[in-house]
Amino acid sequence: MKLKGIVPRTWRLLKKIFIALFIAQLLYIVLLRWVNPPVTITMISSWFSLWGTDKPLQKSWADMDEISQFAKLAVIASEDQLFPDHNGFDFKSIEKAMKHNRKSKNMRGASTISQQVAKNVFLWQHGGWFRKGLEVYFTFMIEQLWGKKRILEVYLNVAETGEGIFGIEAAAKHYYKKSASRLNREEAAMIAACLPNPVRYTVVPPAKITVWRQRRILQQMRNIGPDPDIAELISNSRAVKK
């Protein structure tokens, strides 16, 4: 008899916990539309990996209008050239990546900028299908609630740009001793070139693969720069103080 009473009470408790967690995460997603995320799981993991070394965790937030248009264009050219047009997922690239991965040991990803933001802000690196499922959910939600400019702004501030370095502002100061607003085309492309593997693809001194990727990104920046949707997305709404 006691067991029969415990089971429904436990079930009701679990439902209440689930509902509370769902409402909490939904409110957090909405809040981040205007409030900058204070820290991410990836940053915490990086901080632990740097423990006992002389390398500090470097992160610094820069608003959208405080970031060079070259930097915005470079990450779009490097990571997701269809960013202004898709709803969070590039299904053609996903299909191509799946075909490639079935035939090759060198795994190829197809994550959009939106998916990377969902993973970096709300989830953790690596993981299997469970994390991927959560990534789909958070990607859908930020696409609906944030808009493209906010997604790009958050990406530029939480992406890892070197060992223990997070965001375009921290990268600009660390590598070039200047703010993100003053990055030129070549510098922005060099930082964007490191994004797939910021520890291996070093910026200063530049690894060979980083230089190779920078050249490709510079070419793609010239190709997609005139696109009106991209031009509108990367434009600054006010003058930036030097």
Residue 145: pLDDT band (50, 70, 90) is very high
- For residue 240, being part of any structural domain is answered with no
Instruction: Clarify whether residues 84 and 152 are in a common domain.
Output: yes
For 148-167, write each residue's pLDDT tens digit: 999 999 999 999 999 999 99
Q: How does pLDDT run across 28-73, given as a tens digit for each residue?
A: 999 999 999 999 999 999 999 898 888 899 999 999 999 999 999 9
> Do 95 and 157 sit in the same domain of this protein?
yes
pLDDT digits (tens, 9 = 90+) for 83-141: 999 999 888 876 776 665 566 555 555 689 999 999 999 998 877 888 899 999 999 99
Judgement on whether residues 162 and 196 belong to the same structural domain of the protein: yes
Question: In this structure, what CATH number is given to the domain that contains residue 120?
Answer: 1.10.3810.10
- Do 223 and 107 lie in one domain? The reply is yes
State how many domains the chain has: 2
Contacts of residue 117, Cβ cutoff 8 Å, sequence gap at least 6: 139, 142, 151, 154, 155, 158
Q: Which of 142, 172, 155 is nearest to 26 (CA)?
A: 142
Range of the domain at 12: 1-31
Same domain membership, residue 96 and residue 17? no
One domain, residues 164 and 213: yes
Sheet containing 165-166: which strands, arranged edge to edge? 58-59, 165-166, 160-162
Among candidate residues 75, 79, 56, the one with its CA nearest the CA of residue 64: 75
Q: Report the residue count for the chain.
A: 242
Q: Report whether pLDDT(200) > 60.
A: yes
Tell me, yes or no, whether 141 and 195 share the same domain.
yes
